[in-house]
Structure formats: C-alpha cells, structure tokens
Structure 1
Amino acid sequence: MNFDTKYLVRWGIPGWVLMILLVPYLCIFTEFSIDGIQKGSNNLVAIVAFLTLIGVPIGYMMNQIHHALTWVFVRHKYIRKPLNCIASLFKRDKKGDKEKEGKENWEEFFQKELEIDEFLHKKNREYLRERYRYLLSKKHELGGLTVSLFLVNAVIGFIIWRFHYFKEWSWWYFSITSVLFCLTWMSRQYSSRNIDRYFEEYHKRAKKIYKK
C-alpha cells in the first residue's frame, strides 16, 4: 500500500462507518423505499460510488475534530489552566499529594516535540521512531472512529428522544452502536495512555542529550 492510499483509507474509515451505521437507520426511520433504486442498477452504482467518495472528506473531518479537541484545544492558553485545575482535583502523585502539572501550552509542547525529534533521528533509533509513529497513528485512527460513533449515537438518540421512536428494533440498534462506541472509546484511551507514556520516556532521554 503506497503512502497516498494508506492515508486515504485511514481518513475514509470514520466517514464510511458513519454512513454504514447511520444511513440504514435513517432509511428505516423515514420508511424510505429503495424499490425505485433497485430497478435502475446504474442509479444504485452511482449512489454507492457517491457515498464511498464523500466518506473520505467526512472521515477527514472526524479526524480533525478529534485532533482539535484532544491536542489543540486542551493546550490553548485560555483553556489549559481551568482544565488543569479540574484535573488536579482527581489526580494524585505517589505520595498522595495532588499533582500540579497538567497539559503544557503550545510553545512548551512544540519544544518537547523538537527535542524528541532530534533524539529519534540519532543513529540506531529507527525502531523507536517507527514505533512512535505507529502508536501516534493508532491513536488518531481510533480517535476519528470514536468521533464518528459518537455522532451516530447522538443522531439516533436524538431521534428516539425527539420523535418518541420507541420501537424495539430501534433500541436494539442504539444498544449495538453504543457498545461499539464504548469499545472504541476504551481502545482510544488505551492508545492515548500508551503514546503519552512513550512521549514522556522519549522526552526524558532527549533532555539528557540536550544537557550534554
């Protein structure tokens, strides 16, 4: 798989999952008939091709939303301080004292990235660089998918609540998508903790190089 195709598939998956799960539900909810579409195979092929194509930009937006919320937004100078104060209420260090440090601001994070980048480009560190790249990609892949599944559940939940659509199949459908969301969210959290641990360890090693 070449570079372009790899990223095309990665960006498209959240959008395709969104449509695969949401379009059938909306069709059943609106009692949309596909008899007319089935009669014309050309129309069906055109619709499938359109949904496949549009899934890529939709999935790309899901990835950007995840990146903005979990990387950019939480490090903004007006946001990080209240978030860190709230986080410090629930986090304690090994001695039982509340942790004072939280998310760094943009400039601090950029500096850490520069130091880690220099560390990873030293000799005999190709494995570490590839491992870090894989973990970072995995976090963003799961993040975009998590946003996609969240939107699916939000739309279905809104329809059930707003239109009192309490049919049994609808609840089962909502339950399945909710389970998928929870499982994906847990995987995303696991990947996030994993990449954060690698980031911290690489930065510690990078600082030793800078001190020399």
Structure 2
Amino acid sequence: MNFEAKHWIRWGIAGWVYLSAILAYFTVKDLKAASAFIFSYEVSTIVASATIFILAGIILGHLIHQVSIGLGFIIWTQQAKYFRSEYEIDKIIIKNHRGGEIQRIYSYRLGNLHALRALFTSLAMALTTVIFLAYAIQYSTAILVLLIILFVLFVIVFINYRYFYNNFNYFVANILIEFQSK
C-alpha cells in the first residue's frame, strides 16, 4: 500500500482536530498545569509530547476517516446508485481523450468530500466527547465557550461539506449527461 504525504495530512487533520479539542478541554480545566507544562522549558518532554500528538493524530484520524466512510457510504448513500455512477464515470475516463482531465477533477472533488466528511465526523466526536467530559468531570463558562467554538466549527464544516457534496454530484451528473448523449 502506498501512503503519500497528502494521505498522512488528510488523516492527521481529523485526528489532530479531535485531539486538540480534548487537549483544549483539559487546558481550560486546569490552565495552571497546562501553562507549567508548556513553559517548563523541558525541550525533550515537549518534543516527545508533540511527536506523540502528531503520530496519534494520524492513527486516530485514519480511524475517524474509516468511520466517516462507513457512515457516509455504507449507511447514508444509496450504494447501487453510487456504484453505477462511479462505473459510468470510470468508463468515460477510460474511453475519452479528455479522461485524464476528468479524472483529475473527479479525484480532487471526491478527495475534498472525503476530507470534509472526516473532519465533520471528527468535530462531531469532539463535541460529543467534550460534552461528556463537561458533564462527568467539570463544567465552567470557559468550557461553554469551547463548546460554542466547536459547535460553530461543526456547522461551518457541515455547510462546506454540503457545498462540496452538491458540487461533486453536479459535476458527475453533467459528465454523465454530456457523454451519454454522444
């Protein structure tokens, strides 16, 4: 299996967002301890923590990505319709002299769709986790602000996801119409 840097970053973003939300909760909960850690000047501890954060974010982000695919394609998408349109697009790409350009645009839009759905899933999980932590451990005005920020990000990502989803479907539908009429 070939892993490119763009995959590591795409998966990492979902994981890093989730971990950042949890880290933000515990930072808000105990600002003194967080400040003491950050300003401790123990470079090896900070570098090790950052490395663990980065690697854990990529692994967790990949798992979040898989969950988002499972929810997005297996549960909510009409598989037969999706597979049929993907097969038709693949035929067009293979048979057409403009196939490479169509494939580039198709891959770009589908990649954005996958990334936004993973980010949406990550934010949903982060919101759920922070709400649980606020209920189970500690709730404060600062944590309410964190929840509001997470919710606003959740809504923004959902709106962006819907835009890219509609844009992707419009592109696929028009490619199918254009090339089936020939």
Structure 2-normalised TM-score? 0.84
What residue in structure 2 maps to residue 14 of structure 1? 14
3-state SS in 1 of match to 2:69: helix
Counterpart-to-counterpart distance in 1, 2:110 and 2:64:
16
Matched, 1:124 2:94: no
Asked if the contact 1:14/1:59 (under 8 Å) is kept, the reply is yes
Counterpart-to-counterpart distance in 2, 1:200 and 1:188:
18
Moved beyond 6 Å, runs of 4+: none
Post-superposition offset of 1:176: 1.0
What residue in structure 2 maps to residue 98 of structure 1? none
Counterpart-to-counterpart distance in 2, 1:110 and 1:187:
24
Amino acid at match of 1:9: I
What residue in structure 2 maps to residue 135 of structure 1? 109
Matched, 1:144 2:84: no
Counterpart-to-counterpart distance in 2, 1:176 and 1:27:
15
Q: 1:61-76 maps to which residues of 2 (within 5 A)?
A: 61-75=63-77
Higher relative contact order (Cα pairs below 8 Å, separated by 6+ residues): 2
Asked if the contact 2:21/2:130 (under 8 Å) is kept, the reply is no
Task: From the CA coordinates, give the structure whose radius of gyration is larger.
Answer: 1
Post-superposition offset of 1:30: 5.9
What residue in structure 1 maps to residue 26 of structure 2? 26
For the structure 1 residues 36 and 179, does the alpha-carbon distance in structure 2 shift closer, same or farther, using more than 3 Å as the test? closer
Matched, 1:182 2:155: yes
3-state SS in 1 of match to 2:48: helix
Asked if the contact 2:28/2:143 (under 8 Å) is kept, the reply is no
Asked if the contact 2:92/2:179 (under 8 Å) is kept, the reply is yes
Amino acid at match of 1:168: T
Amino acid at match of 2:162: Q
3-state SS in 1 of match to 2:33: coil
3-state SS in 1 of match to 2:98: coil
3-state SS in 1 of match to 2:76: helix
Post-superposition offset of 1:203: 2.7
The Cα offsets for residues 161-184 of structure 1, whole Å up to 9 and x where unpaired, read as 34561x211111111111111101
Matched, 1:4 2:41: no
Counterpart-to-counterpart distance in 1, 2:127 and 2:72:
20
Post-superposition offset of 1:32: 7.7
The Cα offsets for residues 79-138 of structure 1, whole Å up to 9 and x where unpaired, read as xxxxxxxxxxxxxxxxxxxxxxxx3x44x5333322211102310243222111111111
Asked if the contact 2:113/2:161 (under 8 Å) is kept, the reply is yes
Counterpart-to-counterpart distance in 2, 1:36 and 1:61:
29
What residue in structure 2 maps to residue 95 of structure 1? none
Could you list the runs of 5+ residues in structure 1 that have no partner in the other structure? 76-102
Counterpart-to-counterpart distance in 1, 2:133 and 2:11:
27
Aligned-residue CA RMSD (Å)? 2.3
